[in-house]
Structure 1
Amino acid sequence: MELITLLLYLCSFLSVVNAASVAVSRAGWSASSDSSQTGSDSSRVLDGSSSTIWISADTALPHFITIDMKTSYLVNGVSIQPRQDGSANGRIGQHKIELSADGSSWTQVAVGTYVNSATTKKTTFVARPGRYLRITALTEAQSATNQLTSIAEVNVFADVKFLSKTGWTVTADSEETSSAAAQAAKAIDGNTGTIWHTKYSGTVAPLPHWFRIDQGTQVTVAGLSYLPRQDGGNGRIGGYNVQASNDSTTWTIVASGTWADNGEEKVAQFRTRARYFRLNALTEAGARGQWSSAAEINLLDTTAPTYTAPVATKGIWANTVDFPIVPAAAAVLPNGKVFLWSAYQLDNFGGSNGYTQFSTYDPGTASSTSRTVTNTQHDMFCPGISMDFNGRIIVTGGSNAAKTSIYDVANDAWLAAANMQVARGYQSTATTSEGKVFNIGGSWSGGQGNKNGEIYVPSSNTWALIQNALVSPMLTNDRGGVYRADNHAWLFGWKNGTVFQAGPSKAMNWYNTIGTGSTTGAGNRATDLDSMNGNAIMYDAVAGKILTAGGASHYQTEQARPNAYVITINTPGTTPTVSATASMSFSRGFANGVVLPDGTVFMAGGQSFVEPFSDATAILIPELWNPSTGTWTQMNPMAIPRTYHSVGLLLPDATVLISGGGLCGGCGTNHWDGEIFVPPYLLNSDGTRRARPAITTAAATVRVGATLSITTSGTVATFSLVRLGTATHTVNTDQRRVPLTASGSGTAYTVTIPSDPGVALPGYWLLFAINSAGTPSVGRMIKVLP
């Protein structure tokens, strides 16, 4: 038995839902392809049989197949089932997916690389109208030398509208009214934080249960959607059927099946005209008892939703990028590519298995390659990540809690480094102004508690404890105890070898990392509370400005907050200034914050009620914070939830990659993909790309405090440096922005790098030129030397 009153109160995020995604009926569709083999023509992908396949002729790739849906839909996804006959030949690797209204002019909606497996691949993207869908295979998943392409089945997904609930009356066989207000009407109130729940106080009503909708008049209905309760509790419906009636006496079954035990919205599709519909819950999906519950129940409209083009001032989600792993960690490399990794498995974690699955993504070609790193004997799931002065990625702890592995980008090699003094997982690390790596916290693995600070010296490949760098002052009051309380510190390397800890505890601290070190309290973060899984972003290092946003008092099963603050740090050891800025429009935990070249901060993803491995209460609308006004602006929504285990990074072309989420094996929240956000500063009012300034010459290296001469393609207004980012579990201690004051005019300029290595932290940075319209150039890779 459980009490849900408190959770109903806490999970108060109001989500007015008016649409769902469903697989479109393929009746009457046709398919064509560039080539096919006898008996395996393109029509096989629409015949409903997994035992028949389309297979291309044995000619050179690329190969393509085009689906004609005969009418336009608001398409938001496609599923591709590889052949199921035991052969791997023809599995699609690198690919692109396009939509068209006329079969001639095409819009790319997704690119990427599928993992080499027989599982059905689902690609989701921002909904766009289209009659035709084209899948192009660029490589075969097994080998670049293989030239075949094969597919068993293709399904297309589209947006559908919910019917208006005006005039509805709903009833149920059972509802809880004593211990909570969980009446049937709560399932149609548009609030995902309130639920209908069958009686659980006193005598429990046994399964089966029913929920009945009276529309008041006969209406043609295209299906029923069921959103399970969003707090992770019991009563999720497993086995079900849907019945229709015009008199509430004689009922006809119109749909039946079994729904998975997760928080995702479920849809039962049918087409029936009736006044009454009844959802019958036959089993509880997780066999947790005799209860049934629902957050929202809707009926689907038969008319398609109207497409509204995204407003360019709110940015555009360009396309989805499919990856051959579920990325939970990532880093931008000095060569402009992106490293992404999961754990010892492509889509799951657990144990300490001594190897890690990687993918290298090239934004220029949209291709991804796979790699299993075994030589360091390190499962790098849930690690600390820092980039040193030479652009090497230093990965510490995680599943193999004592290990350190280093990626040497110059030689494309992984190196085993010295073990840490303290085994850790969920710790944070930060590169210091001396070129060392500071490490603190991390009770997720390697034992719990006493995870005091230590320091890595790259030149000697040694770790040493810092006697007086104490973890206790930065602990949160998490209900999970120290196992959670020392996780994911918000760290910033600063002047004279110090590190500033901005959170997630409400208490802030200075750490001196030299010699035996010291810990100095820096006061509380104004009126903010502990903010587990919130964000901290240094958007102006010259001024010592840090934006903090979101988070929750506890790591999981907790309402997040929208709070945002600006911290200003200066002399190490002194109490910083903290001031509240405008709160976000949405409460967020597990979100990702990315600083942009112009100093604005992009916040994407997260949940209003934090719960690992769940997409319930996911926030799809990102926000952009403007430091000049201290306000947040809502951007266009993304297609895919990005919650626990998601990552966000600024790419060299000044767009943003938001990726991953899940990494939980067979769960329904694994996201094998990313989405590319194009900020408003790159867009004209009609959504086309702006003309951009370009940096034509600039030295590849520059020392701290030195001047840098730059030539550009035209007049620019300002310059900025953004350090390459590394991200996992909302933590990105490497990214920071340095605004640069330029002298010069026309196409010739000079900037001066800040003289303190605690501000202009040596390593690899992207140099951006920004014109008077606020449009940045493509970033030029610059190495700042100590």
Structure 2
Amino acid sequence: MHMQLLHTDHVIMFDRTDFGLSNISLPNGNCIKNPRSKILPVDCTAHSVDYDVVSNSIRPLTVLTDVWCSSGAVTPDGTLVQTGGFDSGDRVVRLYKPCRSSSNTTTACDWQEVGRGLTVRRWYATNHILPDGRQIVTNDAKIENNLYPFVFLNGDGNLFIFANNRAILFNYFTGSVIRTYPTIPGGDPRSYPSTGSAVLLPLKPNAAGAEVLLCGGAPKGAFIRANNHDFVPALDTCGRIRIDDPNPQWVMETMPAGRVMGDMVLLPNGDVLIVNGAGSGTAGWEFGADPALSPVIYRPDNPIGSRFATQNPSSTPRMYHSTAILLRDGRVLVGGSNPHKFYNFTGVLYPTDLTLESFSPSYLDPKFGYLKPRVVSPGPQTKIGYGQKLPIRFTIPPGRLNSTSVMVTMVAPSFTTHSFSMNQRLLVLTRADLKPVGKSTYQIRVDTPGSGNLAPPGYYMLFVVHQDIPSEGVWIQIG
């Protein structure tokens, strides 16, 4: 499954078109005819939907070509650009320009496909938004454990790219590698199909530079052994590295349990949620076992040895083809799981599961309501520029403000598939004065990011965080 949250609070989801019939019909009795397909030459079911978070409703969308294992990102104006796929779709670019109403069924609010929009075939690729709003697409679909590379934009405008067990810093203007990083200790692969996950840790004012955290994966040879139904325990280690360190080294940590095919989601307060996946095997059809049912919270600012906290388990296995994304209300939307070559809903150990559920971090517990801020201004969809002073007004229940424990964060919504959230980044904004401006109402001034190197242009969710408890987010647009 692939997911992207848009600035309309709608989530666009899609899956490959040749798994089999889905359980959702195309609107108005429409059908797609594809004489080349041996599986579904005529298909009257939807393989993409628009999920309205507020109304908890879906609307079927139409994809004409196969989006299997594709990639994507959002343009500065909020249009979802999805690239590549398989067979008929491997060079296609698809555009989804959001509309406001879930009942709007005009062609302006459905997929528009550009055939041969890519000069080369793209499958298992990664997209990243660049400082000027363009997108770069990277992959090598021919080499095992190099698929869906982990790509992050560094503050100097270069790209940190991790694949297999090593990383480089890449200057995309010159096409040159300007730095090579040490192999991750142990040398085990972390990219698909030995699928770990990775995040760019929160970017903070006056910090020593950007850090990448990479967790889980599968040992060398695990993919071949899984093909013979020998499921090797997943890696239980995480590696953390500072991109701009003069002598960069991986700092290794141990998770509460091994995990492969997990998702890592940045939360508004700067914590990292690790969710989904399996305890053994690798990505691939029938290649995973032992569902990882218990999410884990990673607190990057805690001392080593006290950063991981196991959460209450789910009862639903979320294995191969599961996804997770942050919503504006602070919940994490979790969905999908299909470890089979086709949809297989019954009679197997881990059935295909296309349902959705949400994970609520502890900051949403009602017992913390007395600490929860509410953003008054800026209002939704406010446009801001780079390097500005931005006043933010918020309320806190009477007598509860701790002025030293207030921060403002901006979170970019990610395109998530195959255990990697493309373009996911969180910025902690520099704060200045904090003052009361009314009954239980306060104003804090923050500095907006200085350039597109820190925050590529587009939509972000802005949160006020008080004593680790975030407000609901407000959509803002920078650039």
Q: Which amino acid aligns with 1:767?
A: L
Tell me the alpha carbon deviations over residues 584-631 of structure 1, each in whole angstroms, 9 at most, x when there is no partner: 111111111101011110111211112434463101111101112242
3-state SS in 2 of match to 1:599: coil
Tell me the alpha carbon deviations over residues 514-536 of structure 1, each in whole angstroms, 9 at most, x when there is no partner: 15444642232344521131011
- Identify the range of structure 1 (712-721 vs 347-356) with the bigger mean alpha-carbon deviation: 347-356
Partner of 1:709: 391
Q: In the alignment, is the contact (CA less than 8 A) between 1:433 and 1:495 conserved in 2? A: no
Change (3 A) 1:706 1:341: same
Change (3 A) 1:380 1:575: farther
Partner of 1:62: none
Partner of 2:161: 501
1:549 aligns with 2:226: no
1:387 aligns with 2:74: yes
Q: In the alignment, is the contact (CA less than 8 A) between 1:753 and 1:760 conserved in 2? A: no
Indicate which of 585, 591, 610 corresponds to 2:256: 585
Tell me the alpha carbon deviations over residues 414-461 of structure 1, each in whole angstroms, 9 at most, x when there is no partner: 333452222021111211223221222242xxxx3xxxxxxxxxxxxx
Pairing of 1:347-358 with structure 2 (within 5 A): 357-358=47-48
3-state SS in 2 of match to 1:681: helix
Distance 1:709 1:525 in 2: 42
Partner of 2:85: 398
Change (3 A) 1:405 1:719: same
Partner of 1:656: 332
Indicate which of 417, 436, 451 corresponds to 1:728: 417
1:408 aligns with 2:90: no
**With structure 1 as the length reference, what TM-score do the two structures score?**
0.49
Change (3 A) 1:347 1:492: farther
Partner of 2:241: 567
Change (3 A) 1:745 1:580: farther
Q: Which amino acid aligns with 2:123?
A: G
Pairing of 1:567-646 with structure 2 (within 5 A): 567-570=241-244, 576-581=248-253, 583-611=254-282, 612-614=284-286, 616-629=289-302, 630=304, 631-646=307-322
Distance 1:701 1:577 in 2: 39
Indicate which of 50, 55, 78 corresponds to 1:360: 50
1:497 Cα deviation (Å)?
4.2
Distance 1:625 1:547 in 2: 10
Distance 1:555 1:676 in 2: 31
1:690 Cα deviation (Å)?
5.8
Change (3 A) 1:351 1:740: farther
1:537 aligns with 2:199: yes
Q: Which amino acid aligns with 1:726?
A: F
3-state SS in 2 of match to 1:608: strand
Change (3 A) 1:706 1:348: farther
Unpaired runs of 5+ residues, structure 1, are 1-327, 449-481
Pairing of 1:195-594 with structure 2 (within 5 A): 328-344=1-17, 357-374=47-64, 378-399=65-86, 400-409=89-98, 412-417=109-114, 419-443=117-141, 448=142, 482=143, 484-495=144-155, 497-503=157-163, 505-518=164-177, 520-527=179-186, 529-531=188-190, 532-542=194-204, 543-553=209-219, 556=223, 557=226, 558-570=232-244, 576-581=248-253, 583-594=254-265
1:713 Cα deviation (Å)?
1.6
Q: In the alignment, is the contact (CA less than 8 A) between 1:495 and 1:758 conserved in 2? A: yes
3-state SS in 2 of match to 1:559: coil
Distance 2:335 2:200 in 1: 21
Distance 1:648 1:725 in 2: 10
Tell me the alpha carbon deviations over residues 12-45 of structure 1, each in whole angstroms, 9 at most, x when there is no partner: xxxxxxxxxxxxxxxxxxxxxxxxxxxxxxxxxx
Distance 1:645 1:524 in 2: 28
Change (3 A) 1:602 1:357: same
1:560 Cα deviation (Å)?
1.4
Q: In the alignment, is the contact (CA less than 8 A) between 2:155 and 2:210 conserved in 1? A: no
Q: In the alignment, is the contact (CA less than 8 A) between 2:165 and 2:187 conserved in 1? A: yes
Q: In the alignment, is the contact (CA less than 8 A) between 1:492 and 1:500 conserved in 2? A: yes
Tell me the alpha carbon deviations over residues 364-391 of structure 1, each in whole angstroms, 9 at most, x when there is no partner: 12112212233xxx32121022223222
State the structure with more CA Rg. Answer: 1
1:578 Cα deviation (Å)?
2.6
Q: Which amino acid aligns with 1:561?
A: L
Distance 2:186 2:5 in 1: 35
1:348 Cα deviation (Å)?
6.6
Q: Which amino acid aligns with 2:184?
A: R
3-state SS in 2 of match to 1:368: strand
RMSD: 2.6
3-state SS in 1 of match to 2:363: helix
Q: In the alignment, is the contact (CA less than 8 A) between 2:407 and 2:466 conserved in 1? A: yes
Change (3 A) 1:434 1:710: same
Q: In the alignment, is the contact (CA less than 8 A) between 1:506 and 1:524 conserved in 2? A: yes
Distance 1:626 1:704 in 2: 29
Q: Which has the higher contact order (CA 8 A, sep 6+)?
A: 2
- The size of the alignment, in residue pairs, is 410
Tell me the alpha carbon deviations over residues 213-263 of structure 1, each in whole angstroms, 9 at most, x when there is no partner: xxxxxxxxxxxxxxxxxxxxxxxxxxxxxxxxxxxxxxxxxxxxxxxxxxx
Indicate which of 688, 693, 698 corresponds to 2:378: 698
